[in-house]
Amino acid sequence: MKAIALKFNTYKKGVDIINNDNLQKNILNTILMLFGIFALCYVIFLGNTVFNIVARQSLVIEARTLSSEVSNLELEYLSISNKVDLELATSLGFKENNSKQYVTRGFSGTLKLAKNEI
């Protein structure tokens, strides 16, 4: 029996070298710290998502406004372009040119006048 007790005491001394008193406390503190970091990251990502949604909604409203403005400008352009005709052009001093001349580009990049090569 003394031999078993002596052997047990030697094992006990070997086990006493490892101090497990602070291990559970350190694990708990690590878990709580990680939980806090993850909660902070969640709040940051959630806030960023909400901010992006609000910004997108304001951009959609601005796009609708610009789209209606573009359609108004297109309508104005069409109404003005229907008024342009040959009579208006001649009254503004434009005249029709009946001579047809064509310009070609040579290999060196210079322009030269061609006489109806087409």
Sign (positive or negative) of CA dihedral 95, 101, 105, 106? negative
Say if CB 76 and CB 88 are below 8 A apart. Answer: no
Report pTM. 0.46
When pLDDT is averaged across residues 67-85 and rounded to a whole number, the result is 92
The answer on pLDDT for 28 being more than 60 is: yes
When pLDDT is averaged across residues 77-91 and rounded to a whole number, the result is 88
Domain positions in the chain: 21-114
Percent of the chain exceeding pLDDT 90 equals 45
